[in-house]
Structure 1
Amino acid sequence: MSAPAELIAALPQYDIGAEIGEGGMGVVFAGVHRTLGRSVAIKQLPWDVLNHATSSELFDREARVLASLDHPHIVPVYDYVRTGREHLLVMERLDGGTVHSRFHGDGVSGEQACAIGLAMLAGLHAAHLAGVLHLDVKPRNLLFSTQGVVKVADFGIARVISEGATLVTHGGEILGTPAYIAPEQAMGNALSPAADVYAAGTVLYELLSGRLPFDNTRGAISMMRQHMFTDPMPIAGVPMPIAGVVMRSLARELDSRYREAESFAADLAAAATAVYGPGWLERSGVPVLHLPPRVIAGLNAPTAPAAQVAGPGSAALDPARTRPVQRPGAPNPTLAAPHPHLDPNPAQQPGSSAAPVIWLRVGAALAGLALIVLALLNPERLPHSASPTLNLGGTAVSAPVEVDLSKPLIFSGSGNPGPVAIDLSAAGIPLGSAETTAKPEGNGFTAELTLPGIARWIVGGAVTATVRTGPITQTFTLLTSQHPLASAMGAGSLILALFALAYLESGLRTIRNGHRWRGAPVGGPVLGILFGAAVWLCVSVLRLHEPSPGFGAGCAVAGALAAGLVVAAARRRASTMRLIRPSAAT
């Protein structure tokens, strides 16, 4: 495809040739500066991405920043021209191919993959210091010069950090490549250099292992959801120091990930030196032209013998495939902890054993069993003191009496007590009351008490009734005639138990997904208390047993213990799984 007339008119100082590339962020044409004879690549940015004043002005400011970047591992921008709706970037033309084409062609060795990683991170770090994010780091945007130098290209969707970049453009269009996108970028949150660190780590993961850290067979939306909610697959067949560095760069939580590219590069350099030995960078044949002192220190880190690989098999890397293969007679690579925050044998760190997790789970199961037993052992009736001469609806209250709370309660007895009152309660919690004046009848009295209408909806199963006839107080068991689940005590306790269980599971899922449940030490036991008390009350109501406060307290304690142990086991398990990604140190 030849260049459009408006592009040719906008750049009269260039001879513009045919189209040499096309992507989501524009079409690229070959060009040659008429006076200097310099070969260039001219990117025509899509007008629909920059089609209003805000985006256009933002990119104008950013283009000036990009043009000011001067780093051997960033494709330089020679010129930026804006005419009408056209936005044109004139850049260095690189004809050495991309990392993507080389990886899928001749392949790259482990040393070459690490060298490419250092060059990539050096360019990104320089851009970050200038206030520019890339946000679309991938093998196709890593270009080779004819001398084999890797340069980061296509900062077309970068955002100035001070502007608070997010994933979504003004038109709601998703920016970035799903296979390499950071979790916070996929969720549309504010971004930082850590987003480019994540993408660079994904590139390195792919170069070293020959695959992506997530399943890429189910489409872009599925891929983005995996980045947001699941942990990457552990990298297999890669020496442990390098594997630890790569997996830390892919941590979904920012607190566990490298915050900036230089720290990532320093640890990568040290890990590669531990695995491949001194001088590995020169042997890789990939020129890395500028490294900060921290990274150089990593390259010169001392090594010590070890023999651990992330995954089955040897760590000898086939240069043609980057996949680890077993070579007859080949020794395992020398490994060491290349950085104070890296441990080549995380499985042996204190607290990382699975045994404590198992015992925590056993303890939680026993506490759960105790909860169930206590709920079932709740006695059918509590001890009461009631005179056989006091009747409710013609039945002596010395035994449990079943009533319909929607109708008045008619008491009768001997004497003339004056005021008569009734209070309903469960485990000491008031549920409703009524009071009236007794009427003389023969040698005794009658009293008609009507409970509040709401009481019939609250009370269910068996409850404690306290009747005051003058100076005498008597208690007995009162049974309700409506179905237990038609009451707040029955249905409410069941709903509360399910709510507590669902909320606890939500918190556990948060932990399993690698996030922090900040209220876990308190929230877990509190939810356990709610669950235990609700189970006790629900079981008591359904079985028509009068709730006993002692057994209720026991169930609450057992629930708190079970939930606390389950949360502790989940947190310890998550911590163990993250040992391959050492805790953050920026």
Structure 2
Amino acid sequence: MTLSSVVAALPQYAVGEQIGEGGMGVVYGGVHRQLGRPVAIKRLPHAVAEDPRMSERFEHEARLLARLDHPHIVPVYDYVRQQGEHLLVMERLDGGTVWSRFAEDGLTAQQSCAITLAALSGLHAAHEAGVLHLDVKPKNLLFTSTGVVKVADFGISQVVSEGATLVTHAGAVLGTPAYIAPEQAMGNALTPAADVYATGTMLYELLCGDLPFERGGGPIAMIQKRVYQDPRPLQNVPEPLAGVVMRSIARDPAARYRNAETFAIDLAGAAAHQFGPDWLMRVGTPVHLAPQVSASSTNPSLRPVRERDTVSLSQQPIRATLVDPIPAARLSGSTLVPAASVIKPPSSPWLLWLVAAVALLTMVVVPFVSSGTQDKGITQDLAGPVRVDGTRLVVTLAGIPLADVTERVPEGFVLPGATRWIVGGVVTAKVDDQPSFPLGSDRTPWLSIMGTGSALLLLFTLAYLESNLRALRKRQTGVAAVIASVPLGFGLGLAVWLLVSVLLKHEPTLPIALTCGVLGAAAALSASLAAKRA
């Protein structure tokens, strides 16, 4: 259909040029002929008019939208269904979008919190009227000429997609995958928590310039991450503000704020804690708040905050580090399918887990079956003289020299103090040019560095590896943790090798040490790669 059909359907308006376009329709500028009032005319996709059921649903939704009267919602002046057109006539806002300011000049953390409070105020009013937005994003928040933030495009996504995210077979998405709630992507029942998620994701981006998930992949991969992965922690933002944001973007809707107002109450209190009780007056962004939110905005959060070293939010504007290169799909009944039908759960990296398990098991077994026992050498209290004949005693551990003694007392060689504390279990000794032999200590291994040191190293590497694996599974870290797992795994292998050798009084040898270290590194690397892919 041409623009002439829009002009014919709106004789009381002078229809101007196109001022916007998206997957949900085209926007034209216009002026009411009698009132001289500038308006924005939303021309909905033709698929709405062609589908009688969708057309009826949108007419019902338009009546709800027309009744919404809130300072932070773009008002709907008129709705026209005529000559095959579905047209929404709304207030025209020429102050730009939140995205344009974020991408060009940047926004301070205080401004971002104020903008989000304004959006939440409008969203809560819409939710109370039974309208979900389902496409909250910086481009759908507009400024008036006086700087008031208003939310646009209420309900359109809900009508068009019946709450589910739609994609084309080629992978283009109807809507904005960066802000879509997991339950919306999967076509599950929707509540205000879906808009809470999108608003929280937007605030996360405004506060750090990036999204809460790793970049890369197309729109389907982007949606899949939101369904199956936990968001990355918000860096360089102190508590309690970071905690409020992270709660708003929890994968499970039940773990999020139950509605927009409870989110706003906590956000206002956290902002007051961070920026001071008068922060909202100083920021200069007009915000109309409910009494509970307004009271919270002037009172610092009462929740206990654990002291920690963190970068304080500065007054410098934060700018977007991302652009949106993903084109939106055009609404077409013949090409769009629910996203849930093309999103697949990530495959289990069972082969990597198997490699890790085999390497780990082999690493543990090798020290038990290697080298000889104390029966083949000499065992005595090494705190006293070592009673052997000769003029020179050399003591080594896996080829590493521990002592080289040439002075002896009548009873034998006195080992240096450090060596006496190091040795536990069995080491290698050599007297003059005679063949080397195992030299064991008859004290408890836990009184030696070999015994306690290997146990502490084992606990240390296990703790750090477990922490790395947990962070990788939650997508709180990336390649750096995988790389770090290699030396940690090698240390784990050495700890197992030395501890088993000490307890069983086996003679530690360098080939077995390297074997256990390599097996430990292989197990840790395989497990880290599996956790990252899971």
Pairwise TM-score range, normalised by the shorter structure: 0.5 to 0.7
2:116 aligned partner: 117
C-alpha displacement of 1:169: 9.2
Q: Deviations along 1:293-347, whole A, 9 cap, x unmatched?
A: 2211211324689997998533324125489xxxxxxxxxxxxxxxxxxxxxxxx
Q: Deviations along 1:504-552, whole A, 9 cap, x unmatched?
A: xxxx99x9669xxxxxxxxxxxxxxxxxxxxxxxxxxxxxxxxxxxxxx
Q: Pick from 163, 166, 169: which aligns with 1:165?
A: 163
Q: Which whole-Å CA distance do the structure 2 matches of 1:310 and 1:87 have between them?
A: 55
Q: Which whole-Å CA distance do the structure 2 matches of 1:3 and 1:176 have between them?
A: 24
1:218 aligned partner: 217
CA contact (8 A) 1:168 1:174 kept: yes
How many matched pairs? 335
Q: Which whole-Å CA distance do the structure 1 matches of 2:309 and 2:245 have between them?
A: 14
Work out whether 1:34 is the aligned partner of 2:52: no
Q: Which whole-Å CA distance do the structure 1 matches of 2:154 and 2:308 have between them?
A: 33
In 2 relative to 1, CA 277–255 (structure 1 residues): closer, same or farther, beyond 3 Å? same
2:420 aligned partner: none
Instruction: Report the aligned-residue RMSD.
Output: 3.5
Within a 5 Å distance, the mapping from 1:186-197 to structure 2 comes to 186-197=185-196
Amino acid at match of 2:299: A
1:300 aligned partner: 298
CA contact (8 A) 2:61 2:155 kept: no
Work out whether 1:275 is the aligned partner of 2:274: yes
> Which runs of 5 or more residues in structure 1 are unaligned?
324-364, 374-507, 515-586
Q: Which whole-Å CA distance do the structure 2 matches of 1:322 and 1:114 have between them?
A: 16
In 2 relative to 1, CA 16–164 (structure 1 residues): closer, same or farther, beyond 3 Å? closer
Q: Secondary structure at the match of 1:191?
A: coil
Q: Which whole-Å CA distance do the structure 1 matches of 2:166 and 2:238 have between them?
A: 37
Work out whether 1:262 is the aligned partner of 2:261: yes
Work out whether 1:52 is the aligned partner of 2:51: yes
Q: Which whole-Å CA distance do the structure 2 matches of 1:184 and 1:176 have between them?
A: 15
Amino acid at match of 2:83: G
Amino acid at match of 1:166: A
> Which runs of 5 or more residues in structure 2 are unaligned?
322-356, 366-468, 476-534
Amino acid at match of 1:292: A
2:207 aligned partner: 208
Within a 5 Å distance, the mapping from 1:359-378 to structure 2 comes to none
Within a 5 Å distance, the mapping from 1:372-451 to structure 2 comes to none
CA contact (8 A) 1:3 1:29 kept: no
2:314 aligned partner: 316
Larger Cα-atom Rg = 1
Of residues 53-62 and 210-219 in structure 1, the stretch that sits farther from structure 2 once superposed is 210-219
Amino acid at match of 1:65: L
Amino acid at match of 2:53: T
CA contact (8 A) 1:121 1:265 kept: yes
Q: Deviations along 1:420-456, whole A, 9 cap, x unmatched?
A: xxxxxxxxxxxxxxxxxxxxxxxxxxxxxxxxxxxxx
Q: Which whole-Å CA distance do the structure 2 matches of 1:97 and 1:303 have between them?
A: 32
Q: Which whole-Å CA distance do the structure 2 matches of 1:150 and 1:132 have between them?
A: 19
CA contact (8 A) 1:28 1:41 kept: yes
Q: Which whole-Å CA distance do the structure 2 matches of 1:305 and 1:43 have between them?
A: 44
Of residues 260-269 and 305-314 in structure 1, the stretch that sits farther from structure 2 once superposed is 305-314
CA contact (8 A) 2:66 2:77 kept: yes
Amino acid at match of 1:55: M
Amino acid at match of 2:141: L
C-alpha displacement of 1:167: 2.9
C-alpha displacement of 1:72: 0.4
Amino acid at match of 2:187: G
Amino acid at match of 1:23: G
1:284 aligned partner: 283
Q: Which whole-Å CA distance do the structure 2 matches of 1:186 and 1:106 have between them?
A: 32
Q: Deviations along 1:64-114, whole A, 9 cap, x unmatched?
A: 000110000000000000013210000000000000000011111011000
CA contact (8 A) 1:3 1:17 kept: no
CA contact (8 A) 2:134 2:163 kept: no
Q: Which whole-Å CA distance do the structure 2 matches of 1:92 and 1:53 have between them?
A: 27
CA contact (8 A) 2:113 2:267 kept: yes
In 2 relative to 1, CA 37–3 (structure 1 residues): closer, same or farther, beyond 3 Å? farther
Q: Which whole-Å CA distance do the structure 2 matches of 1:266 and 1:299 have between them?
A: 8
Q: Secondary structure at the match of 1:239?
A: coil
C-alpha displacement of 1:248: 0.3
Q: Secondary structure at the match of 1:238?
A: coil
In 2 relative to 1, CA 87–322 (structure 1 residues): closer, same or farther, beyond 3 Å? closer
CA contact (8 A) 1:235 1:310 kept: no
Q: Which whole-Å CA distance do the structure 2 matches of 1:93 and 1:17 have between them?
A: 12
Amino acid at match of 1:297: A
Q: Which whole-Å CA distance do the structure 2 matches of 1:18 and 1:322 have between them?
A: 29
In 2 relative to 1, CA 122–512 (structure 1 residues): closer, same or farther, beyond 3 Å? same
In 2 relative to 1, CA 69–210 (structure 1 residues): closer, same or farther, beyond 3 Å? same
In 2 relative to 1, CA 199–111 (structure 1 residues): closer, same or farther, beyond 3 Å? same
Within a 5 Å distance, the mapping from 1:219-258 to structure 2 comes to 219-258=218-257
Higher helix share: 2
1:430 aligned partner: none
C-alpha displacement of 1:164: 7.0
CA contact (8 A) 2:194 2:253 kept: no
2:76 aligned partner: 77
Q: Which has the higher contact order (CA 8 A, sep 6+)?
A: 2
Q: Secondary structure at the match of 1:79?
A: strand
Amino acid at match of 1:278: P
C-alpha displacement of 1:239: 1.9
C-alpha displacement of 1:191: 1.0
> TM-score normalized by structure 1?
0.52
Q: Secondary structure at the match of 1:190?
A: coil
In 2 relative to 1, CA 28–184 (structure 1 residues): closer, same or farther, beyond 3 Å? same
Amino acid at match of 1:188: G
CA contact (8 A) 2:41 2:88 kept: yes
CA contact (8 A) 2:193 2:253 kept: yes
Q: Which whole-Å CA distance do the structure 2 matches of 1:206 and 1:309 have between them?
A: 24
Identity level (%): 60
Q: Deviations along 1:339-370, whole A, 9 cap, x unmatched?
A: xxxxxxxxxxxxxxxxxxxxxxxxxx9xx99x
C-alpha displacement of 1:257: 0.7
